Structure 1
Amino acid sequence: MSSTELPPALATTVTPRVGAVRVGDGERLRSVGLPGITLTVRSRPASRKGLPPALYVHGLGGSSQNWSALMPLLDGLVDSEALDLPGFGDSPPPDDGNYSVTAHARAVIRYLDAAERGPVHLFGNSLGGAVTTRVAAVRPDLVRTLTLVSPALPEIRAQRTAWPTALLALPGVAGLFTRLTKDWSAEQRVRGVMALCYGDPGIVTPEGFRHAVEEMERRLALPYFWDAMARSSRGLVNAYTLGGQHGLWRQAERVLAPTLLVYGGRDQLVGYRMAQRAARSFRDSRLLSLPEAGHVAMMEYPETVATAFRELLADAGEQPSPSGAGAEG
């Protein structure tokens, strides 16, 4: 089912959402109400009927906007939607305050079940990579292929540059950080985030930087911003400690869908050394290593990621349409 053909159960809960949230050329936003959560979904009109659906899931502190550079490159190939996880982007907090990886995965599953869009080509970055790995493991019927960009899977020795993010999980740290940085401007915060997430922050255009600052100002004004960050960080750390069948690496081994793994050599949050372990763990995987990329390769090198995804589809026997030739990098 395409994003423009919603089942009756969802159609009654869909309303336009624009407001202060940036909407790129050709994009649309809508708000979808589900039990216990409300999700904002960003989509692009399908170029033709019958395209297979794709769903994109962002990382910690991100939003559906993180996929706006990649999605147009896959027009004519998939019917693209990206969601804001509860408490992020333009989605309000979940009613139960649960920001665990399992809760985020449940939100993705609830949306796919309600929208009747599965199976989808599922994309995840960072925290979204952990979430989509769990979705693919527990609901293989919902996933055609899985594309993971710097997935946040457990590391025994995390990089020092990733420690501040993990420290947000500790009770009281988010409040302390808020007080210590109360005089920081949105521009300062954005420069810090970009220095952490990009292999080369210099590739960000002045327009892109301005949009990021505007989005940062909007998020900082939200009363739940730091709570969502802290609780999601705590949820990710807790997921790292789970063993047995609920462990993320064990679940990676259960993923049946053909999987594309994308790792950046300059990633300061997910260790580049984890790429080989991931390639061994996902049974049907191919690895794209980008030595100059940081943590958000789909924003830094969208053409390269798009080309790798097309190759994934070809390897999986799903030949891309000639109309998707714009994805060549």
Structure 2
Amino acid sequence: MSSTELPSAPAASALPKVATVRVAEGERLRSVGLPGITLSVRSRPPAREGLSPALHVHGLGGSSQNWSALMAQLEGDVDSEAVDLPGFGDSPPPDDGDYSITAHARAVIRYLDASDRGPVHLLGNSLGGAVTTRVAAVRPDLVRTLTLVSPALPEIRVQRTAVPTALLAVPGVTALFTRFTQGWTAEQRVRGVMNLCYGDPGRATPEGFRNAVEEMERRLQLPYFWDAMTRSARGLVNAYTLGGQHALWRQAERVLAPTLLIYGGRDQLVGHRMSQRAARTFRDSRLVSLPEAGHVAMMEYPDLVAREFRDLLAQTGEPVAESVAGTGADAARGAAAGDGGAVTENAGS
């Protein structure tokens, strides 16, 4: 494995505009070369030595930046890294053009094997939730705990608001969409994404919105942006149709790691009704509902997600930061509904 650290603040003249990637204060970004893929890995140095490693995996159209707020919350609890899946964020496309769930899971496994960081606390959102479920099922030796935020697991009745995203998998639809939206500005696109993914788009700060627009402008210039989106959406839809031992729900049954399930009550992409099935399927699970959250609770309510994650750590015997020890799920469940109001609904058997 070869690794090259990327500068956090390159001179404007040193890199082409399309290559500029935002790195938050306290974060590092490096490029890791592996067989068939090159991955961009975002990390945040832990507050102290000896903390357990954690790896965060983003969803469709996202990047490692989606985890920056949560990583900052958890710097006293785990040694966090977040990966850009092939074709997303600052990771180039895979050499073989394979964007299936299995290929994305293979990329995560290759990185964990090469970095020798496992077993890790593995966290996934949306598409990343499906990917990390597969990783936990096929390589239990690499996973200490599994945290899934609105995981994209198969639904029989897809929400109407999720249909446009699923249609990206249909041949020709992406080309039609790109022509239809040719005149849209980056600001319009970001507002559309936030309206779809946030329970309350107003929770995005002005700075966060500007950063998202800047990232959208950068990614729209990438020649493979729409191809990565389309093929990954197709890979997710194809995974929904798999049967037997490769079926995602069947693999969820095989997960041995203690699992934290977080679902948003205002999620327009993953039906909240699927939370109960998830709680029944993952054998050692705890289900938490955030009534006011949308599809990306770790971005909307990073403090509540962090508290629930610390509670998971405590339940598995992992140390948590002294400044927050004991807050855990009880504090989250005691929060006002207007602040996300975490509610533990159910536990897997």
TM-score tier by shorter-chain length is: over 0.9
Residue 307 of structure 1 aligns to which amino acid in structure 2? R
* TM-aligned CA deviation for residue 325 of structure 1: 5.3
Where does structure 1 differ by over 4 angstroms across 4 or more consecutive aligned residues?
Answer: 323-329
Which one is further off, 15-24 or 73-82?
15-24
Give the alignment of 1:277-292 within 5 angstroms. Answer: 277-292=277-292
Structure 1 partner of 2:3? 13
SS at match of 1:125: strand
2:314 paired with 1:314: yes
Structure 1 gaps, min length 5: 1-9
Partner Cα separation in structure 1 for residue 131 and residue 293 of structure 2: 22
* TM-aligned CA deviation for residue 324 of structure 1: 5.5
Which one is further off, 252-261 or 43-52?
43-52
Structure 1 partner of 2:247? 247
* TM-aligned CA deviation for residue 327 of structure 1: 7.9
Give the alignment of 1:163-202 within 5 angstroms. Answer: 163-202=163-202
TM-score, length of structure 2 as denominator length:
0.89
Residue 13 of structure 1 aligns to which amino acid in structure 2? S
* TM-aligned CA deviation for residue 35 of structure 1: 0.5
Partner Cα separation in structure 1 for residue 315 and residue 51 of structure 2: 18
Residue 142 of structure 1 aligns to which amino acid in structure 2? L
* TM-aligned CA deviation for residue 316 of structure 1: 1.4
Partner Cα separation in structure 2 for residue 90 and residue 253 of structure 1: 33
Residue 161 of structure 1 aligns to which amino acid in structure 2? T
Structure 2 partner of 1:299? 299
Residue 223 of structure 1 aligns to which amino acid in structure 2? P
- CA 17–131 in structure 1, closer or farther in 2 if over 3 Å, else same: farther
* TM-aligned CA deviation for residue 277 of structure 1: 0.3
* TM-aligned CA deviation for residue 160 of structure 1: 0.6
Give the alignment of 1:230-245 within 5 angstroms. Answer: 230-245=230-245
Structure 2 partner of 1:215? 215
Structure 2 partner of 1:23? 23
Structure 2 partner of 1:205? 205
Give the alignment of 1:105-144 within 5 angstroms. Answer: 105-144=105-144
Structure 1 partner of 2:226? 226
Which one is further off, 257-266 or 41-50?
41-50
Structure 2 partner of 1:269? 269
Partner Cα separation in structure 1 for residue 327 and residue 95 of structure 2: 39
SS at match of 1:70: helix
> Looking at both structures, which has the greater relative contact order when contacts are Cα pairs under 8 Å and sequence separation is at least 6?
1
Partner Cα separation in structure 1 for residue 226 and residue 325 of structure 2: 41
Residue 15 of structure 1 aligns to which amino acid in structure 2? E
Residues matched between the structures, number: 319
CA contact 1:55–1:82 (8 Å) conserved in 2: yes
TM-score, length of structure 1 as denominator length:
0.95
* TM-aligned CA deviation for residue 46 of structure 1: 2.0
SS at match of 1:287: strand
* TM-aligned CA deviation for residue 290 of structure 1: 0.6
Structure 2 gaps, min length 5: 11-19, 333-349
Partner Cα separation in structure 1 for residue 122 and residue 244 of structure 2: 24
Partner Cα separation in structure 2 for residue 171 and residue 52 of structure 1: 43
* TM-aligned CA deviation for residue 17 of structure 1: 4.7
Identity of aligned residues (%): 80
**CA RMSD across the alignment:** 1.3
Structure 2 partner of 1:51? 51
- CA 326–224 in structure 1, closer or farther in 2 if over 3 Å, else same: farther
SS at match of 1:13: strand
* TM-aligned CA deviation for residue 14 of structure 1: 2.4
* TM-aligned CA deviation for residue 52 of structure 1: 0.5
